[in-house]
Structure 1
Amino acid sequence: MRISMRKAAAALVLALGATGAAAQQQPQGDAPPAEVGVVTLSRQDVPRVVTIPGRAVAYQSVEVRPRVDGVIEEILYSPGRPLNVGDPLFRIDDASYRAQVAADEAELATAEANLPVAESDYNRAQQLAGRGYTEAEVESARAALAEARATLDAAQAALDFSRTQLGWTTITSPIDGRAEVAATSVGNLVSAAQSDALTTIVRTDPIYVDMVEPSARRLSVRQQIESGQLTMNGDLAATLTLENGTVYHGSGTLVTPGNTVSTTTGTFSMRFSFENPDHVILPGMFLRGDITIGTIRAFLVPQRAASRDNSGLLTVYLAAEDGTAQQVTLRDEGSHDNAWIVTEGLEDGDRLIVDGLKSLQDGQEVRPVAVTIDEDGVTRDAAPAAEGDDGSAADADAAAED
């Protein structure tokens, strides 16, 4: 009995060994194709929008300085309040200028009184020439009359200038805008030749925004227009994104496209004008501008389906007709929403792999499944299989788990 049990155990060991050897000799089957989500690409009209940095610049900015000498008697404005052209800002002591006006008025009155006398002398000398007045005396009377007229003109000019200087003792705003805090105070002596401004007035409605663009991109856009890929939509328009990420409500119009390229940065500056009634944009702010150039015939490649290499090119995978994943390198022309704009390297009907990219390799066998991408970037089956009401799908899943 003991011998029989030993023989049975030995036979079992031999059987198991044979089974293991057979399993090792049996070739394993190939791995199944990887399931990937794909979207079918087609060329379409895409807005050509470029995003570039910008900086706000005041529409008008004036440094106010005195035009006459004197002591500041009064500051006539409130900092930050709106000003119109001609609103008074400062008053300078005008006593000496009023005295000069009075003196010039007296000079003018004297000249006006002397002119009729000179005219009468000349007329009399001209009538009595050769009958008591020599030719020299007539010429002298003519010269005296001319001098009297010149004296009158000089007196009038001096009075006009002195009155102008008297008017300059009240410094007014040359533009509409808002003034900064005064850089002087009542009692300070100012002069017409000083370099320090009394205050600065800035107009911010409308306001300029200077946007900086690489010159290489400008050449690329010009080439696309000439080739017919890009269609212009009239004048350039721009929208702004503020420093806190808020999109500004108004759109800007182009003032100047820029005529020179910086020798240090290789960029040129475009100036846009924006309405700014609420003074939300202030000079010096850094902004982001989106400029709509036109429309371009291109493919939209979802950003989630592409990666960039060290040279800045896009790398994507296409589901080829032979059932493999094909790696393709593309050059983009910017972005639109959550997609890259691509004009070359793709064809209508290409199936772009957007899901299942992890560990995917070039040439790997794949099983494409049509999907869609919603606004949140989530992929969903384009035509999901309907599950039966009898629970067969749940049973199938349970069987698969078993």
Structure 2
Amino acid sequence: MPHPSPAQSPRIAFRQFSLISLIALLLLTTQATAQTPPGGAPQGPTSVGTVTVQTVDVPYIRTLPGRAVAFETGEIRARVSGVVEEILYAAGDKLNPGDPMFKIEDTTYVAAFASAKAALAGAMVQRDTAQATVDRYMTLQGSAVSKADLQTAQASAAAAVASYAAAQAAVDVAQLDLDRTTVRSPIAGIAGISNVSIGALVTANQADALATVTRLDPIYIDVSDSSAGMLRIRAQIDDGSLKLGTKVGVALVLEDGTTYDGEGTVVVLGNVVSATTGTFDLRVQFDNPKRLILPGQFLRVKLTLGTTSAKLVPQRATGRTSDGTLTVFVAKDGVAKKVALTSSGSQDNAWIITGGIEDGDLVIVDGLTNLRDGAAIKPVPVTIDADGVVHDAAPETAADASKPAPTTGNN
């Protein structure tokens, strides 16, 4: 075999070195693979954050749908007929009772009022003349005037008094008609857009309103609740699980999810159940100085009836099965156990649990990713703030790292 030339020796040596390096790399990879357990799973139990379940007193709150209704609504209509001469307000103006809104042509009504006053003056003269005749006849009775003449004079005086009263009433009616040529707001509120323009002919008590005035402060919220829900509440009161408060707290949640600033009051509690929907109505009232609530808005009303004892489980710790069952992982004897829960509503970031767990159980709230039923775990006490964020428990409170953040809502 021929020997390589001196020029070929370095190239062969480099190839031999590369081959040796590749073999060494493969050996290292094989050793590393052999040290890794099948499936790449880490050795030892998984650390998980837990909170301890305890029974606590929580507000019992019914969250119900509602619709805003104006406190007062006035439909403005003409009381006399005529042509609209002037519109005396602008849409959106804040009006007080008696503020002028429309001016109707009053020439005819001025003339009618003057005629009524003239008729009243004539009736007053007739009344005074008739009374004077009666007074004169009474002094002459028995000499120049018979009793029959006196009675006739008295009857004429009485008729004159009646005519005067009728004339006075006609003046009052004419004055009312004249005053009604200025159409005024009957209530305090916000003026709506005018439905007529200057020059339009309107008639007395027509069906179509000239405009609308709406009072928005305060404002009503009409709420519906099911009769079945009412029966459940009564049953809870009877068995002592619900303790009523001194008054019903009323809060409002706006359409964007924010809580309205201010507390409402219950105005009317319905006492009739609808035959079609099985619900009864109640009305609550809120102050509305900034006009954030407008008639027609759909809102949610939270009625705080009292307090009840419950176990709270953070919502972030729970899941649902394909059939909708609420589940949670509980740490028991160093393993994760999946249990089914029954709930009766929610408290902000927690579920109100009525079955499935007991006081003292450790609910896993952190480290749930890829956690399986029966997996080996190492419980680590944690706490959860009002925003649902997990924090490590302080050493002195680790044993009590149990309660989800205080909450204020219940369905």
SS in 2 for 1:276: coil
C-alpha distance after superposition, 1:64-89 (max 9, x if no partner)? 00000111111111111211111110
RMSD: 2.8
C-alpha distance after superposition, 1:84-126 (max 9, x if no partner)? 1111100011111111111111111111111122112223334
Map of 1:93-172 to 2, 5 A cutoff? Answer: 93-172=105-184
- Does the CA contact (< 8 Å) of 1:318 and 1:328 recur in 2? no
- Does the CA contact (< 8 Å) of 1:108 and 1:155 recur in 2? yes
Higher mean alpha-carbon deviation, 102-111 vs 44-53, is at 44-53
CA–CA distance in 2 between the matches of 1:220 and 1:62? 40
- Does the CA contact (< 8 Å) of 1:240 and 1:287 recur in 2? yes
CA–CA distance in 1 between the matches of 2:389 and 2:75? 56
- Does the CA contact (< 8 Å) of 1:72 and 1:93 recur in 2? yes
Cα offset for 1:360?
Answer: 4.0
The aligned residue for residue 381 of structure 2 is 371
CA–CA distance in 2 between the matches of 1:380 and 1:162? 81
Identify which of 229, 235, 248 aligns with 1:223.
Answer: 235
SS in 2 for 1:219: helix
- For 1:336, the aligned partner's letter is Q
- For 1:374, the aligned partner's letter is I
SS in 1 for 2:264: strand
Sort the Cα spacing of 1:341 and 1:370 in 2 relative to 1 into closer, same or farther, 3 A: same
The aligned residue for residue 360 of structure 2 is 349
The aligned residue for residue 210 of structure 1 is 222
Map of 1:162-311 to 2, 5 A cutoff? Answer: 162-308=174-320
SS in 2 for 1:71: strand
C-alpha distance after superposition, 1:210-232 (max 9, x if no partner)? 22323322222222223222223
Cα offset for 1:312?
Answer: 6.3
- Does the CA contact (< 8 Å) of 2:310 and 2:353 recur in 1? yes
- For 1:47, the aligned partner's letter is P
- For 1:74, the aligned partner's letter is E
Higher mean alpha-carbon deviation, 269-278 vs 125-134, is at 125-134
SS in 2 for 1:331: strand
The aligned residue for residue 338 of structure 1 is 349
- For 2:75, the aligned partner's letter is E
- For 1:159, the aligned partner's letter is V
State the TM-score, normalized to the length of structure 2: 0.76
Cα offset for 1:323?
Answer: 6.8
- For 1:369, the aligned partner's letter is P
- Does the CA contact (< 8 Å) of 1:313 and 1:331 recur in 2? no
Sort the Cα spacing of 1:344 and 1:154 in 2 relative to 1 into closer, same or farther, 3 A: farther
- Does the CA contact (< 8 Å) of 2:331 and 2:379 recur in 1? no
- Does the CA contact (< 8 Å) of 2:383 and 2:393 recur in 1? no
Cα offset for 1:239?
Answer: 2.5
C-alpha distance after superposition, 1:161-205 (max 9, x if no partner)? 110110000011111111112111111110013111111111111
State the TM-score, normalized to the length of structure 1: 0.78
- Does the CA contact (< 8 Å) of 2:341 and 2:357 recur in 1? no
Sort the Cα spacing of 1:311 and 1:125 in 2 relative to 1 into closer, same or farther, 3 A: farther
- For 2:379, the aligned partner's letter is V
Q: Which sections of structure 2, spanning at least 5 residues, go unmatched? A: 1-42, 396-411
The aligned residue for residue 13 of structure 2 is none
The aligned residue for residue 46 of structure 1 is 58
The aligned residue for residue 20 of structure 1 is none
C-alpha distance after superposition, 1:230-258 (max 9, x if no partner)? 22333323222322333322222221222
- For 1:177, the aligned partner's letter is G
C-alpha distance after superposition, 1:326-366 (max 9, x if no partner)? 6344132x2112111234565432333445665644xx476
Sort the Cα spacing of 1:324 and 1:182 in 2 relative to 1 into closer, same or farther, 3 A: closer
CA–CA distance in 2 between the matches of 1:255 and 1:309? 43
- Does the CA contact (< 8 Å) of 2:341 and 2:353 recur in 1? no
Sort the Cα spacing of 1:379 and 1:78 in 2 relative to 1 into closer, same or farther, 3 A: closer
CA–CA distance in 2 between the matches of 1:197 and 1:266? 36
SS in 1 for 2:284: strand
Higher mean alpha-carbon deviation, 38-47 vs 198-207, is at 38-47
Sort the Cα spacing of 1:158 and 1:310 in 2 relative to 1 into closer, same or farther, 3 A: farther
Cα offset for 1:146?
Answer: 1.1
Cα offset for 1:133?
Answer: 3.4
Q: How many residues align?
A: 351
- For 2:226, the aligned partner's letter is P
Identical pairs, percent: 46
Sort the Cα spacing of 1:269 and 1:313 in 2 relative to 1 into closer, same or farther, 3 A: farther
